[in-house]
Structure 1
Amino acid sequence: MSAGPKIVLDRVTKRFGERAILNGVDLSIEAGESLAIIGQSGSGKSVTLKCILGLIQPDAGSILVDGESVIGLRGKDQERVRAKFGMLFQGSALFDSLPVWRNVTFGLTQGRSRDTAHMKKVAEENLERVGLDGKILNLRPNELSGGMQKRVALARAIAPRPEIIFFDEPTTGLDPIRADVINDLIVSLVEDLGVTALTITHDMASARKIAHRVAMLYDGRIIWEGPQDRLYDSGNPYVDQFVQGRADGPIR
């Protein structure tokens, strides 16, 4: 593992037609750190994640993971780098046609033949880490509550033991109590597994709880970053307006 930051973005830009989504994003994430990116819908948060994962190629700038450039990687090199990542998708993105155990182990079995009994054991172990038990192994996701689906998706994200986990709006669609349960799980998993975490969220309670540091993306750039306990005392008018949910202010 590199002794430097886990992830570094340097002047990353991305346009779609005439619209500049990312306009020189600079960001550094240390190994073992949990960082949350906040910002308006359409501000480029998801595009940033996709650029890091190599799903979208930026127009300019550099992206390093463990000191290695990930822009333009292909084939086995791309697979090797992507194996470092786990992902909790917005809305969970489970496969309703597959039982829970196959959802949890999907990243481990895709394209490969694996022993069913062993995979069920792996699924059960990861479900236990997120507070679920083996009784749901053979259920379909649509037989579970929204909170349980989110936990199954979290179990899937950690099953390959990634070094980095991306959380895309992890509390979307959950009531405040279930959202706080997911926040607590994320905090404990990041600490227990020693992973680096990057979360994009509109949920300020979630950002304050799960992140060591918060960065705000606005107009294609990171305009503020600081420790989570400064989120409501940032001194930045854009951040203040966003976290307080006010219509009056510099953001239009």
Structure 2
Amino acid sequence: MATGMLPKIKLTDVVKRFGEKTVLDGVNLSVEPGESVAIIGGSGTGKSVTLKCILALLIPDSGSIEVDGQEIVGARASEIAKIRSKFGMLFQGGALFDSMPVWRNVTFGLTQGRMREPARMRRIAEENLERVGLGKDILNLRPNELSGGMQKRVALARAIAPRPEIIFFDEPTTGLDPIRADMINDLITSLVKDLGVTALTITHDMSSARKIADRVAMLYNGRIIWHGPRDRLYDSGNPYVDQFVQGRADGPIR
């Protein structure tokens, strides 16, 4: 992880409301270059809204979001497009296109779905599938012909194909059994390290958070109430974090 540099992502007092409901109520979070951070928290606590605000898919009501020191909130569309080009995304459930073969799914971010330079795109797809442990024998298959674990790997190959500087992982182990989930966690960890990217993950899976992240932050009631190294996740000293990670019904979270 780099030091003495601008944060790769910095959120300062970010507020987002939907009508009378305040989902983000002053979120402060910084992610350093090359760092892997996981945001944990219950359903409906604003994890996905946080990602959408960073991607400028949602506009905060107030606060600041910077990527490499550049302000996103209020930026022009052309500036936002340049910033978005730094991001890769592994969507919850994979979100592959069943109408396209695997090779076109993997290179979708490079072609925007258009049939451009098919021979070159197939080579790029093959290279990135190899990075996630898949062979060229699946290039022409449709996603619905693959197992859930293989679909997740294809989605991961798609996320890294444009060589982004930052990758978002949205519940990366959803729908996988514990063994395949652990394999995906190992794969993500090695890819983040090998590619030197910055990673931001949102997850309910504590095993995933502990394996993927250098640092974990917990979002509750629209605020980051705790953050610390992954080794302190089960020894945080915070009753909200303790209840959440241990999955207890009794505690301050209702």
Q: Hey, what's the Cα distance between the residues in 1 that align with 2:130 and 2:116?
A: 21
State the 1:74 CA deviation: 3.2
Q: Hey, what's the Cα distance between the residues in 2 that align with 1:186 and 1:159?
A: 14
Conserved? CA contact 2:104–2:113, under 8 Å: no
Give the direction of change, closer, same or farther, for the CA distance of 1:181–1:111 in structure 2 (3 Å limit). closer
Indicate the percent of aligned positions where both proteins have the same amino acid.
78
Give the corresponding residue for 1:218: 220
Give the corresponding residue for 2:19: 17
Q: Give 1:1-252 correspondences, 5 Å limit.
A: 3-110=5-112, 114-252=116-254
Q: Hey, what's the Cα distance between the residues in 1 that align with 2:9 and 2:73?
A: 13
Q: Hey, what's the Cα distance between the residues in 2 that align with 1:77 and 1:224?
A: 32
1:8 is matched by which residue type in structure 2? K
Q: Hey, what's the Cα distance between the residues in 1 that align with 2:113 and 2:210?
A: 39
State the 1:76 CA deviation: 2.2
Provide the aligned C-alpha RMSD in A: 1.2
Q: Hey, what's the Cα distance between the residues in 1 that align with 2:154 and 2:237?
A: 39
- Structure 1 residue ranges (4+ consecutive) displaced by more than 6 angstroms after TM superposition: none
Q: Structure 2: where are the runs of 5+ without partners?
A: none
The normalised TM-score by structure 2 is 0.97
State the 1:78 CA deviation: 1.4
Q: Hey, what's the Cα distance between the residues in 2 that align with 1:73 and 1:113?
A: 32
Q: Hey, what's the Cα distance between the residues in 2 that align with 1:143 and 1:112?
A: 22
Conserved? CA contact 2:169–2:201, under 8 Å: yes
State the 1:110 CA deviation: 1.1
State the 1:113 CA deviation: 5.4
1:105 is matched by which residue type in structure 2? T
State the 1:191 CA deviation: 0.2
Deviations 1:109-158 (A, max 9, x none): 01655211100000000000000010000000000000000000000000
Q: Hey, what's the Cα distance between the residues in 2 that align with 1:70 and 1:133?
A: 39
State the 1:247 CA deviation: 0.4
State the 1:4 CA deviation: 1.0
Q: Hey, what's the Cα distance between the residues in 2 that align with 1:192 and 1:220?
A: 33
SS at match of 1:206: helix
Conserved? CA contact 2:90–2:172, under 8 Å: yes
Q: Hey, what's the Cα distance between the residues in 2 that align with 1:159 and 1:232?
A: 35
Deviations 1:24-66 (A, max 9, x none): 0000000000000000100000000000000000000000000
Q: Hey, what's the Cα distance between the residues in 2 that align with 1:144 and 1:215?
A: 34
Conserved? CA contact 2:171–2:203, under 8 Å: yes
Q: Hey, what's the Cα distance between the residues in 1 that align with 2:231 and 2:130?
A: 31
State the 1:72 CA deviation: 2.4
The normalised TM-score by structure 1 is 0.98
SS at match of 2:97: coil
